[in-house]
Structures are given as structure tokens and as C-alpha cells.
Amino acid sequence: MWINSTLSSTGQYCLFISRIFSLPDRWSVFFKRTVQEISKLGIDSIPLVIIISIFMGAVCTIQMQMNTTSPLMPAYTVGLATRDIVLLEFSNSILCLILAGKVGSNIASEIGTMRVTEQIDALEIMGVNSANYLVLPKIVAFVLFMPVLVIFCIGTSLFGGCCVAIFTDMISLSKFIYGLQALFNEWYVWYGIIKCFFFAFIIASISSYFGYYIKGGALEVGKASTNAVVTSSILILLFDVILTKLLLQ
């Protein structure tokens, strides 16, 4: 039973994706909507990303300082470890898990409400490919803007670590900054950005799918939002394992 419903949903998702990735009816409308979605899904997420990143960067630095007390470990280890944690996992995987909650529920509830109030039926009857019209701009906008959020996240996380060095006596700022620069591997930045493309696609497409195929009323919109966030989060974690294996080995 569970296998049947999973296979059925997977098939429906594939058909949904094939409808999304067709040529837009009007390119001018598509570009306009994409810019609107960049503002709504991307730019509006920047304050959340900054706040979370500063605090997480600071917490990482404090945790590293408290757990690397061995005299055999150089002081710059704190900066180095904080940087690698941020580059490898926090700025992409953890950030996307957080954004799955904010952006995913936003997309699922918006499209779900449009389904419940017959706005999607209205588009279909007008002859508009509703999946393409509604979802493609969201996917394109979020995938394009995600690297910007990752870069913001990296910068503000490391700034949060610097704040710990500046405002506490746990570690000196010079040693922390030396640690940030030590043994730097540029590939880690690209690794994070490559992963974020996949995660952004998962969040936008899965959330849209759950919203688009709602059956019922307002109660179902809430359920769809929850399902969208849960499924996106699980798939992000699954793809995190796969991409880490592929990209770091």
C-alpha cells in the first residue's frame, strides 16, 4: 500500500515536472514573474539568513573553542574548524533545511490556496499551462538566487565567529582570522554552491507539487505545507549524502 502510493506520487511528480519544463506562453510574463519571485523567495529570505548565520557562526566558534582545549592543538584550529563547518554543511545543507521551512511552506500554501479557490482551474480553462505559469518562475528564481544566500550565509557566519573573538576573551581575533585563512580549499566553496542548486530545486519543486495537487479545503492547505516541508527536508538530507559522496571523494 505504502509502496503503491509512493510510486504513484513519484510518477505524478515526474509528469508535473514535465509540464513545468515546457516553453512559457509569454516570455515577458515569465521574466516579470521570475523577478517577482526572486524578490519574494530570495531577497525576503536574506534577513532570516543573516540572523541565523551570525548566531550559528558564533555558536560554532564557542563550541570549537570549548572542545579543543588540548595543548597539542594550535589555537587557530578554532577558526579553521568553524570555517570548514560553515563551508561544508551549514551554509548549504543546514541553511536549506531552514529555508525548506520558510520558503517551502510559503510556496505550498500559496499554490494550495490557488487550487482550493479555483484560481488554477481558471488558468487551465483560459488555456494557460498553470504548472508552467506558476511554478517555473519559482524554481528558476530560487535556484538562481540560492548561491547568493549561500554566500551571505558564509560571510555572516564567519562574521559571527569574529564577533566572539572581538567581544569575548575566548580566542584572539588574529588567531581566529589566521585559522579562517589556514589550509583553505577553494573547492569547498564550489561544493557548497553545487549542493545548493540541487537543494533549491528540491524545495521549490516538491513544495509546488504538494500545493498543486491539493484536494479539499483550507485544512488540506495546512497539511500540504507540512508535507512539503517534511518531504523536502528528507530529500535534502538524502541528496546531501549522495552529493557529499560524489563531490568530496
Q: Which residues bind other proteins (CB under 8 A)?
A: 25-26, 29, 113, 117-119, 121-122, 124-128
Question: Measured between alpha carbons, how far is 87 from 92 in angstroms, rounded to an integer?
Answer: 8
Nearer to other proteins, 122 or 166 (CB): 122
Give the CA dihedral 65, 237, 156, 99, nearest 10 degrees.
-140
Nearer to other proteins, 66 or 125 (CB): 125
Q: Is 161 exposed, middle or buried, given 0-12, 13-18 or 19+ CB atoms closer than 10 A?
A: buried
* Residue 162 falls in which region: left (phi positive, over 0), alpha (psi -120 to 50) or beta: alpha
Least Cβ distance, residue 217 to other proteins (angstroms): 11
Nearer to other proteins, 53 or 130 (CB): 130
Question: Measured between alpha carbons, how far is 212 from 51 in angstroms, rounded to an integer?
Answer: 31
Least Cβ distance, residue 96 to other proteins (angstroms): 26
Least Cβ distance, residue 128 to other proteins (angstroms): 6
Nearer to other proteins, 47 or 127 (CB): 127
Least Cβ distance, residue 222 to other proteins (angstroms): 18
Question: Measured between alpha carbons, how far is 24 from 16 in angstroms, rounded to an integer?
Answer: 15
Nearer to other proteins, 20 or 164 (CB): 20
Least Cβ distance, residue 228 to other proteins (angstroms): 20
Tell me 182's DSSP state. T
Asked whether 216 and 210 are in contact (CB, 8 A), the reply is: no
